[in-house]
Amino acid sequence: MRAIVLEKVNSIDQKPLREKESPLPEPGAAEIRVRVKACGVCRTDLHIVEGELPCRKLPLIPGHQIVGIVEARGERAGRFQEGQRVGIPWLHRTCGSCQFCRSDRENLCEKGEFTGYTVDGGYAEYTVVPEDFAYPIPQTFSDAAATPLLCAGIIGYRSLKLTEIRSGQRLGLYGFGQSAHITIQVARRWDCEVCVFTRSQQHRQLAQQLGAAWTGGSEDTPPGKINAAIIFAPVGKLVPDALRVLEKGGVIVLAGIYMTPIPPLEYESIYHERAIRSAANSTREDARELLQLAGEIPIRTEVETFPLNEANQALLRLKNSQINGAAALLVG
């Protein structure tokens, strides 16, 4: 099968991804093989390719926002029929027995496996996944349009829940890429006022189209204090920027898997019970809830598509903030 393979981490400017012929993966007893139709291009992929995340597997086929068709099933796999469309997200497998799995926190599983990071992902014609970690895709979405739901959407949704934001309150979003452009639509559904902080004029325009009440830069001051914030951009200096405009008792959630160092903070900036927490991975329940909401709202995704052999170019565009919304590789 055709696959885009990372053999050595390097700057995306050096085009480290190579197209190769790889063996067709065989599904295990409780697994399904999926013929990939489209795979989202995520900033986490960029962190993996450039070595900002510790290398867990090489060579590696990246990609963890996968939409495709069930093509083969293991002997114990019965949830999906051959020919059914499914989505595969970041969380590939959990152990089911550690302290975190036993307490409904499988996103923190001590032996968790992750698609396109610890196991091969979707920058290829085929991939395999345990059937319990694949999901039906709402029919209202095309293959490409569904891809950002499977990581950007899910982690944004989990981050939104972690803020404990309530109807009528003001939410700040820092960075407005693929995750934020989905999260704002859920927040508006929950009747939250949303302020978007981003440098890009193009991203500000999209935020306004999707219902932002105010847009500006991280150094700007919104019309009033924000009750909660989600920081999507992997930039540590945004933490004190968000604290500057955060209301007493407010929560800041760091949604990225990687972030540059956070500058030293004055105690006064976190006094009055302001809290900072991270969102790590996601659970299967997060995925099910987000996909259901996506179909009900329905969420509108902005997706720029690329052929499979342009994975390097797509990631470079993402790195340079030249993608308005999300990006996806068309495989099938």
Same domain, 38 and 157: no
User: d(Cα 185, Cα 207) in Å, to the nearest integer?
Assistant: 10
| pLDDT tens-digit map of 91-139 | 999 999 999 999 999 999 999 999 999 999 999 999 999 999 999 999 9
User: d(Cα 286, Cα 274) in Å, to the nearest integer?
Assistant: 25
| pLDDT tens-digit map of 129-179 | 999 999 999 999 999 999 999 999 999 999 999 999 999 999 999 999 999
Same domain, 194 and 274: yes
Same domain, 173 and 218: yes
Question: How many residues does the structure list for the chain?
Answer: 332
Straight-line distance from the first to the last Cα atom of the chain, in angstroms, rounded to the nearest whole number: 12
> Whole-model pTM above 0.85?
yes
| pLDDT tens-digit map of 231-241 | 999 999 999 99
| CATH number where 27 lies | 3.90.180.10
Closest CA to 243 of 280, 199, 274: 274
Closest CA to 131 of 284, 332, 329: 284
Same domain, 86 and 199: no
Same domain, 107 and 12: yes
Same domain, 52 and 71: yes
Q: What tokens does 5 get?
A: 């393979």
Same domain, 102 and 234: no
Same domain, 111 and 143: yes
pLDDT at 332 over 90: no
> Residue 58 gets which letter from DSSP?
S
| pLDDT tens-digit map of 22-81 | 999 999 999 999 999 999 999 999 999 999 999 999 999 999 999 999 999 999 999 999
Same domain, 25 and 124: yes
User: d(Cα 196, Cα 199) in Å, to the nearest integer?
Assistant: 10
User: d(Cα 55, Cα 104) in Å, to the nearest integer?
Assistant: 28
Same domain, 122 and 191: no
Overall number of domains in the chain? 2
- pLDDT tier for residue 300 given thresholds of 50, 70 and 90: very high
| Structural domain containing residue 86 | 2-150+282-330
